[in-house]
């Protein structure tokens, strides 16, 4: 699946990287590379939802990034 | 800094990576491991993903082994709890902010069972968050930090579950019922932000202890009543110890019964002591050159006042009857001392009841069936009197 949104750091635990779409849907990024760890970055991410993963942040579906384009 | 159930032992099982995520397979395995290794409460400050039969099976397995399972409802701010909180055997916890309102991030609605403090990130600094001692994954160091989240709310409930467990309630369903029943109800909660309400540790433990005679409770009562001191054990030998002990036990059981089933307050205990046994260890105290009768006076219970003070072994029928409790109740019913009068009445009932079986010697009535019946009838009268008086005195002090 492809998601377009903005990178945000959510304050749960020591901080969790999220991808928030324009309609407000929040995805928790699974182990994002350092380039994606920038607040306010607008990106298009191709990846898959990991339904088999639970997290301490619990902010939304876990998105495992396969590739991305910085917009 | 102390947590809620700070004497509970922690069994830390690592199921998430330093990034904060872990697989359902690992989590399910850890649940089974905990259940097999003696865990009483499992806290899961984690969630997400979809329904999983592996997870559901592990939770059922632990629940059937008597483990209480608590999980965070989730931080998506949406209407329904996340997995694993939404499984039926799991207590699902929503988060409140420092004002007691729903924290903005907390999930709510379907599947939320109860709410507990989760803190709020909107507060300044750490003041609105839940302070904890944890490990900083970036440095591996032990740190004290404030975090918000339903992940912080869930362990409050787990801690109280441990407190309830420590009172001897040991099935997960009973512990769940006590947690939910004792929660402070929130009026106007149409969207189920709070489940049964705000977690209330004190009320939960009180409810768990209600109807239970425990060793701790008995000793707390003994200490409060002044029976736990050296004089009691040493000088107690000078007077008839066994009947006295029976009177103490009798009045404890009555006090326990009253505390659980009637509104009870201060004054009751001192009345119970005066009525049942007095500070009887004083009776065995002799002080050189001092008259001993004041010791006998303070060492006497109400029914014994008519004889012990005068050094006589047989009870005086006027004192060993419902007469004094009746006068006390009549005089004190409308005053602050009414519970003292009620306590005295129950204490006298205990004393007369024990005397009827242990040593029914009464002046003028002998020590046979007549004396025995006289004591039993008066004991019943005292109990009835205490009951009626307690119904007429509903206020607590």
Of B181, B209, B237, the residue that ends a domain is B209
As a whole number, mean pLDDT of residues B70-82 equals 95
Inter-chain touch A52–B136, beta carbons under 8 Å: no
CA-nearest of A67, A5, A26, A3 to B48 is A26
Of B178, B209, B240, the residue that ends a domain is B209
Domain membership flag for residue B6? no
As a whole number, mean pLDDT of residues B188-193 equals 90
- Assess whether B199 and B320 both reside in one domain: no
Positive or negative: CA dihedral B42, B46, B51, B53: negative
Is the distance from CB of A17 to CB of A25 less than 8 angstroms? no
Positive or negative: CA dihedral B1, B97, B144, B74: positive
As a whole number, mean pLDDT of residues B104-111 equals 93
Of B209, B227, B255, the residue that ends a domain is B209
Is the confidence at residue B318, as pLDDT, over 90?
no
- Assess whether B284 and B332 both reside in one domain: yes
**How many independent structural domains does chain B possess?**
2
- Assess whether B176 and B307 both reside in one domain: no
pLDDT computed for residue B397 by the predictor: 39
Give residues with Cβ within 8 angstroms of B15, minimum separation 6. B22, B26, B27, B30, B46
CATH number at residue B125: 3.40.50.200
Contact residues, chain A, for B20 at CB < 8 Å: 13-14, 16, 55-57
- Assess whether B332 and B290 both reside in one domain: yes
Domain membership flag for residue B4? no
- Assess whether B282 and B196 both reside in one domain: no
Task: Give the pLDDT confidence of B120-177 residue by residue, as tens digits.
Answer: 877 656 678 998 888 888 898 999 989 999 999 999 999 999 999 998 888 999 999 9
Domain membership flag for residue B294? yes
Q: Where are the beta strands (DSSP E) in chain B?
A: 21-23, 41-44, 68-72, 90-96, 114-117, 130-135, 142-147
Tokens at B134, concatenated: 């944890």
Contact residues, chain A, for B149 at CB < 8 Å: 12-13, 56-58
Range of the domain at B30: 24-209
- Assess whether B234 and B347 both reside in one domain: yes
Inter-chain touch A62–B21, beta carbons under 8 Å: yes
- Assess whether B97 and B158 both reside in one domain: yes
Q: Where are the beta strands (DSSP E) in B118-197?
A: 130-135, 142-147
- Assess whether B277 and B298 both reside in one domain: yes
Closest-CA distance of chain B to residue A70, Å: 23
pLDDT computed for residue B396 by the predictor: 44
CA-nearest of A52, A53, A51, A71 to A16 is A53
As a whole number, mean pLDDT of residues B186-196 equals 91
Is the confidence at residue B371, as pLDDT, over 90?
no
**Structural domains of chain A sorted by starting position, each given as residue range(s) with its CATH number in brackets:** 2-70 (2.40.50)
Domain membership flag for residue B135? yes
Interface predicted TM-score (ipTM): 0.94
Contact residues, chain B, for A12 at CB < 8 Å: 75, 105, 147-149, 151
Binned at pLDDT 50, 70 and 90, residue B18 comes out as confident
The residue among B382 and B40 whose pLDDT is bigger is: B40
Mean pLDDT (chain B, rounded): 82
Contact residues, chain B, for A16 at CB < 8 Å: 20
> Which B residues, 170 through 229, put their C-beta within 8 Å of a C-beta on chain A?
none
Is the distance from CB of A30 to CB of A53 less than 8 angstroms? yes
């Amino acid at each position: 699946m492809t998601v377009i949104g903005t990178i945000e750091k959510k304050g749960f635990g020591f901080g969790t990287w999220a991808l928030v779409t324009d309609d407000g849907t929040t995805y928790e990024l699974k182990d994002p590379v350092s380039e994606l760890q920038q607040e306010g970055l607008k990106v298009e991410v191709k990846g898959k939802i990991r339904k088999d993963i639970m997290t301490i942040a619990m902010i939304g579906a876990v998105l495992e990034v396969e590739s991305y384009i910085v917009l | 800094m102390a947590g809620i159930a700070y004497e509970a032992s922690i069994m830390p099982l690592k199921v998430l990576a330093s990034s904060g995520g872990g697989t359902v397979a690992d989590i399910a395995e850890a649940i089974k491991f905990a259940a097999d290794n003696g865990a009483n409460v499992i806290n899961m400050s984690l969630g997400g993903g979809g329904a999983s039969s592996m997870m559901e099976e592990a939770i059922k397995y632990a629940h059937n082994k008597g483990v209480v399972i608590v999980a965070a409802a989730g931080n998506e701010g949406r209407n329904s709890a996340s997995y694993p909180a939404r499984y039926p055997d799991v207590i699902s916890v929503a988060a409140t902010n420092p004002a007691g309102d729903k924290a903005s991030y907390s999930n709510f609605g379907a599947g939320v069972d109860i709410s507990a403090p989760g803190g709020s990130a909107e507060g300044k600094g750490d003041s609105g968050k839940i302070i904890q001692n944890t490990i900083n994954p970036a440095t591996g160091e032990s740190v004290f930090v404030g975090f918000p989240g339903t992940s912080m709310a869930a362990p409050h409930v787990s801690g109280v579950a441990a407190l309830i467990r420590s009172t001897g309630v040991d099935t997960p369903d009973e512990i769940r019922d006590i947690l939910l029943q004792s929660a402070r109800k929130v009026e106007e909660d149409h969207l189920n932000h709070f489940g049964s309400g705000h977690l209330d540790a004190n009320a939960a433990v009180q409810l768990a202890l209600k109807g239970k005679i425990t060793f701790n409770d008995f000793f707390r009562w003994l200490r409060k009543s002044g029976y736990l001191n050296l004089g009691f054990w040493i000088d107690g030998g000078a007077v008839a110890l066994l009947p006295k002990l029976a009177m103490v036990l009798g009045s404890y059981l009555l006090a326990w019964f009253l505390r659980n089933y009637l509104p009870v307050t201060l004054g009751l205990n001192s009345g119970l002591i005066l009525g049942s046994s007095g500070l009887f260890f004083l009776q065995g105290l002799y002080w050189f050159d001092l008259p001993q009768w004041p010791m006998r006076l303070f060492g006497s219970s109400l029914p014994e006042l008519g004889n012990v003070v005068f050094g006589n072994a047989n009870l005086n029928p006027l004192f060993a009857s419902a007469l004094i409790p009746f006068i006390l109740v009549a005089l004190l019913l409308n005053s602050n001392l009414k519970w003292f009068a009620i306590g005295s009445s129950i204490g006298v009932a205990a004393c007369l009841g024990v005397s009827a079986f242990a040593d029914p010697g009464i002046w003028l009535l002998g020590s046979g069936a007549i004396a025995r019946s006289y004591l039993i009838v008066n004991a019943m009268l005292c109990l009835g009197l205490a009951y009626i008086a307690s119904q007429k005195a509903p206020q607590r002090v």
